[in-house]
Structure 1
Amino acid sequence: MFKTLIAASAACFALLCGTAQAAAKPDLAIYGQLPSVESVEISPDGTKLAFVATNGDERFVVIRQIGGSILKTIYAGAMKLRGVEWAGRDHLLVVSSRTAEVRGVLGRSREYLMALDYNVATGQQTGLLRNQAESMNVILDWPMVRMIDGRPFAFVEGVHFVNNYGRNTLYRIDLDKQTTRMLDFGSENDTDGWLVDASGQAVAQSLYNQNSGRWGLKIRTGMNWRKVDEAQAPMGSYGLSGFGRDGQTILVWRTDEKNNDLLREYRADGQRADLPSDIDLSGLIHDPQTLALLGGYKLEGDDLKYTFFDPEAQKTWNAVAKAFGSERISLSSWSQNRRKVVVLADSATEGPAYALVDLDARKAEFLVQVYKNLAPELISPVRSIKYKAADGLEISGYLTLPRGRDPKNLPLIVLPHGGPEGRDAPGFDWWSQALASRGYAVLQPNFRGSEGFGWDFVKAGFGEWGKKMQTDLSDGVRWLAKEGTIDPKRVCIVGASYGGYAALAGATLDRGVYRCAVSVAGPSDLKKMLLSVREAHNGEASSSQRYWLRFMGAEGIKDPDLAALSPAKLADKVEIPLLLIHGKDDTVVRYDQSQTMADAMKKAGKPVSFVTLDGEDHWLSRGATRLKMLTETVAFVEKNNPPD
């Protein structure tokens, strides 16, 4: 579908269009480069588009008139742009992040969010929270945009220091006048979130104590704040999820006594009600003007299902989805009246692309491919699979097969996801596609502990870190070998974050399955990692630490079981080639985790390769270093597990 639109459309962004060249082994940059376009946002009045564009390592914010030319291109250099958001007709908020160690702030370097306002009419750029007394110029969450008397305001959570202690404090920014006012609503040391209504009034406050794991909700009535609920939430704050169905109630994503997810609406008087159990959502959609909850979406199996409470809205969305045929579409943004909709359409044969749907004109317009130069002949087929683990638990996942090769006795790369409570999903995956372009089958298993398959499936992963969570991967290898799809003697494991740990565990704990292993930002010494998490929280216990321990099955940092699960303590058992890759600016899994593994390998007299990605974070946010990671990984597996 999209190839036809590409050929016919004159709306292609000139800055980004390119010609794809087919090759036996295509350039890895086609897959490893950053997306050419991200975060396509339509203005509230439906007349303009704004998006983040990338060319190599250079990033831009582009503003374009719908049906017309580019109005403005803002050069951002190598800045890590995280997205854009319109605030009225003439203001565009640009959010970025930066890894930094701030003088006077306890702990190691962290990833800090920042935002600036770009005035489309005047061309003026202004950093939010600049020059605020006793405050940092960083934001703690995405800005809340509110139109008050027809004028745009941004409400921002920032850090204000009281007696040398940083508090989550709410700021009100008049974007037209460029004035900022700190709103003193009695924030506490434990405040971790705010909610502002459509009139610009702060109406709810979330509190969370990292040490005790206790969450609380305060709602404002008149000039007074009252705590209306509190609960133990050892794995992290429940926070605030916006407004409920009437645009007035406060919505919180809670868990019940069985740890099932539920959406609870709170009234100002403390009365509460849970949304019906048949409303099963994982993401929420709110009205851009009234802020009322309209519905949401959830990945059910391989289908991304959107649910709207209003039957007419549901009918409209179904019509939009139907127009794209077999493409898997998701909502990117829409105009204030919801009549112009930007969608991301992911085609199994042509990759992801953005399109604009005009419901009044009843037409869809192709905008741009997400990955420049990605042609259909460069995309390998992906199919859903299911197999049984050794204990009988059903594991689902995705198998990418190299294009043009007979799917028999293929070399295999196992590519486990991070989290570990994450999941792989259908759709274009740049990493697996890059590996498949070299001739490998790629297995992405949703091992036990992965989200999206019910609480019992998540709970099945508790205490199975490095155990059944690991053998779920090798059980998939054995199943594919039994099916005749892969050659069990030609299998490597590659992963990042928890997937990087799984790669290390494949070399130390579940041996005899893999010919080589590549760990990208993988934990190697679990005790050391937990200590770094505690250090990041000023020596206190934290929800992050409790999250890890739940899957590790350990009682605490001193638990001897941690050593038995730590690849760095088992380096003498490694019998396969090992490659470590790590970003120097990683603030999630610290760089020293790979250093520790490399040192342990050398001490054990084992060969190891170690690649440092200078200036790179945990998410591979920079183009050059992301491509370097992919290039080094492919060269390593091709050497140690030749695909031909």
Structure 2
Amino acid sequence: MRLFKLLLICGAFCSPLLSAAQAQNTSSAKAENPAPPAAKPAPVDIRAFFGISRARAVYSARISPEGRYLALLTRDNEGSDLLEIRDLQNGTVRRIGQEFALMMSNLKWINEQRLALTMRQRLVDGSANAFLFMLDADGGNQSKKIVLGLIKSDSFRGFNSFWRVDTGNENDGALVLGRQLLVSRVESMARNFLIKVDPFTAEESYLEHGVRVADQWVLDQHQELRIVRDNDGLESRIHYKAPGAKEWKVIWRGPYGTEQDIYPLALENDQHMYVLSGKSGYERLYRFDLTQGKLLEPALFEIPNYDFDGSLRFMQGKLAGATFNADEINTIWFDAGLRQLQSEVDALLPQGRKILYPAHKGNKKAVVLQSRPHAPGHWWLYDNGKLEDLGSSRPEIDPARMASKELRHFKARDGLNIPVYLTRPPHSQGQRLPAVLLVHGGPHVRGASMSWDTESQFLASRGYLVVEPQFRGSSGFGVQHLRAGYRQWGQAMQDDLNDTVQWMTQQGYADGKRICIAGASYGGYATLMGLIRDPQLYRCGIAWASVTDLQLLFDPIWGDMSDKALRFIAPEMLGHPEKDAAMLAAHSPINLVDKLRKPLLLAHGENDWRVPIRHSQKLYRALKAQDAPVEWVSYPKQGHGWTSMQVELDFWSRVENFLKTHLAESKLDATDKPPVAATPAKTE
């Protein structure tokens, strides 16, 4: 759901394999001298998950509108990102690399002969600038524009940032960017604009809309601005300018952040636009009448028991389909030709879900992203009935050695349905395993899906059952599930985690004496509260980029929430800093240090603006003063998450060693008690 999403954090199953010992023919073994069991295979090298691959990796691909050119974003064995452009007619390949590039992303063909992408450049202080980089298919006529720049002053910190605005066409010959002049804690200083960028010269022109801080824009097929949405923290407004009109008109008003709120997506024509609304209890796709200013029933598209969490797919200016995340990522095509194209690809690639990025309608060419829970994203080129393997995003991962994944559900103590993703270690029978309860950040986001996830697969490769509950407050499962988490940090949200522990032990999945809780940002907060509130449930905890002081989130100096978010959104979702001061203090780990006695691995980035490192530093010093078992690591030049492969490799190596130490059977003693929850969890 889009209802008040406060982000504290900045896209078929494989059966467990038989071991060699299980698969061997035992009839040939002599009873008096049985053959020894085959050795368990060595774990997959950690560098295959987090390091620089020794083989070429492919992590994005797009085909040109008419299907002549193929653009690939690749990474070589030295960690350098490269752009490859292939001419599918004559077979020539051009490789373009920029020395300053930290990462390339956001490929887009502007027309048949020109494309654009984003490139990030690391600066000396660890921050990064980003460029909109444009070039011809032959590598010539290169131009660039800075689209992300750090702003520093004595009174504020912020960004001069841009983001691409979807104009309703897959390829439309223009680039339209939203520009946030300042992401500041002082709302009155913030401004945003809409800019049309010339794809050849990078010159910009402003599209006027008269709204100081808009949160959504919609353009027509001619790249003319027609819809603007804004809010004042209490009320949302949709502004509309009809074709040929000079003045903007407010055509809809509604309560901000509620199920009655409306989120414009794209224009269908001069009379209707496509919008999202949660009025039914789930976020669904509707038409909206621009002349009458009202939502039109029934919904155009809905997913039973799920919010619409995805994107609309346009082809030549018309809505052709939608890609969405329900049980797993899928695409529905409204266009008959694209439905046929999808069925042809599915017949050639029967495993997993396939996301198509086709050339123009009528052209039987498409780039295909194959998504499977046990395999990293794999790219293919479909060309008139034939598939070409383009490569994997993590080529050193063997899917046959990865873990199975499934989605289960159980009832929390108050009857609320809790979805849970289970990633089971390969070569295991899935019973009484040491487990990691991995708590997602946000917290009001969709925390997992039936797709490849590097962290959970890495942990499973080390023999741990990975359990990812979508506790109350998680989005994607309807209004009730989302709102049930409001103002419940350390309370009912934490109860859901405890109920998950009891459920997975009652089902026989996990060894109740060998469970570690882990997570980042809100997940780090929940980790700390789990060790404080319910130490009998967990052997240890791993928390990174963690919130430790709820009151500190409201301090404009120690956070990056805007004034509007601090005044309206955070009090609704977290609690009021004055009226609920006692509640916030009672559920802040920094005030409960004396109860934290379980082994803890604590990590933080030194450049974290979202949850500044002060949160973890204060906690670490307090724990050390009480001689608590805590390991601490801070990473220079890292923000709210790891952007360096070297840092990722170091951190997850520490995680591996920490779990090996604290979840080992030899570490258990007679004082360990099985998990106990206040009320038995019910299983569906």
User: Normalising TM by the smaller chain, what interval?
Assistant: 0.7 to 0.9
Long gaps (5+) in structure 2: 1-11, 13-39, 152-157, 183-187, 303-307, 667-684
Look up the SS of the partner of 2:615 in the other structure: helix
Quote the Cα distance in structure 2 between the aligned partners of 1:204 and 1:74. 38
1:31 to 32, 49, 52: 49
Kindly tell me: are residues 283 and 638 of structure 1, through their superposed partners in 2, closer, same or farther at Cα, counting changes over 3 Å?
A: same
Which of the residues 526, 535, 538 maps onto 1:514?
538
Listed as ranges, the matches of 1:126-525 within 5 Å are 126-128=143-145, 138-144=160-166, 152-159=173-180, 165-183=189-207, 185-210=208-233, 212=234, 214-222=236-244, 223-234=246-257, 240-244=264-268, 246=269, 249-256=272-279, 260-274=282-296, 276-277=298-299, 279-280=301-302, 281-290=308-317, 292-300=318-326, 302-331=327-356, 333-337=357-361, 339-348=364-373, 350-358=375-383, 361-421=384-444, 422-525=446-549
How many Å separate the matches in 2 of 1:574 and 1:182? Answer: 54
Task: Give the AA of the match of 2:364.
Answer: R
With over 3 angstroms needed to count, the CA separation of the structure-2 counterparts of 1:339 and 1:242, relative to structure 1, is farther
Alpha-carbon distance in structure 1 between the residues aligned to 2:504 and 2:559: 43
Give the direction of change, closer, same or farther, for the CA distance of 1:434–1:453 in structure 2 (3 Å limit).
same
* Structure 1: gaps of 5 or more residues: 2-21, 103-108
Does residue 50 (structure 1) correspond to residue 77 (structure 2)? The answer is: no
Tell me the residue number matched to 1:15: none
Instruction: Indicate the larger mover: 424-433 or 590-599.
Output: 590-599
Distance 1:267 1:480, change over 3 A: closer
State the shift of 1:551 in Å: 4.2
Deviations 1:468-488 (CA, angstroms, capped at 9, x unpaired): 322322322222222333221
Give 1:51 shift: 3.1
Paired letter, 2:44: P
Matched residue SS, 1:152 = coil
Shift of 1:48: 2.1
User: Which residue is 1:73 aligned to?
Assistant: 96
Alpha-carbon distance between aligned partners in 1 of 2:162 and 2:73, rounded to the nearest angstrom: 21
Structure 1 residue 213: Cα displacement: 5.2
Amino acid at match of 1:327: G
Given the alignment of the two structures, is residue 583 of structure 1 paired with residue 642 of structure 2, yes or no? no
Which residue in the other structure is 1:41 paired with? 62
Q: Which moved more, 1:519-528 or 1:280-289?
A: 280-289
CA distance in 1, matches of 2:101, 2:513: 42
1:182–1:392 Cα change, 3 Å: closer
The Cα shift of 1:260 comes to 4.1
Distance in 1 (CA, whole Å) between partners of 2:641 and 2:481 is 26
Contact kept, 8 Å, 1:494 with 1:519, in 2: the verdict is yes
Which amino acid in 1 is paired with 2:74?
A
1:205/1:217 contact within 8 Å kept: yes
- Percent identity, please: 25
Q: Is residue 193–residue 206 contact of structure 2 (8 Å, CA) maintained in 1?
A: yes
Q: Deviations over 1:310-346 (max 9, x none)?
A: 4554344344334422312233x22122632222212
CA contact (8 A) 2:96 2:139 kept: no
CA gap 1:129/1:621 in 2 versus in 1, 3 angstroms: closer
Normalised to the residue count of structure 1, the TM-score between the two structures is 0.83
Aligned length: 603
Give the whole-Å Cα distance in 2 for the aligned partners of 1:446 and 1:522.
19
| 2:319 partner letter | L
Structure-1 separation of matches of 2:585 and 2:148: 47
Q: Which amino acid aligns with 1:40?
A: A
Larger CA Rg, structure 1 vs 2: 2
Cα distance in 2, alignment partners of residues 312 and 63 from structure 1? 27
Which residue number corresponds to residue 585 of structure 2? 563
RMSD: 3.7
Structure 2 counterpart of 1:225, one-letter code? W
Task: State the shift of 1:415 in Å.
Answer: 0.9
Counterparts of 1:532-543 in structure 2, within 5 Å, are 532=556, 536=560, 540-542=563-565
Name the TM-score, length of structure 2 as normaliser.
0.79
User: Relative to structure 1, is the Cα distance of residues 61 and 160 closer, same or farther in structure 2, using a 3 angstrom cutoff?
Assistant: same
Change (3 A) 1:137 1:298: closer
Q: What SS does the corresponding residue of 1:634 show, helix, strand or coil?
A: helix
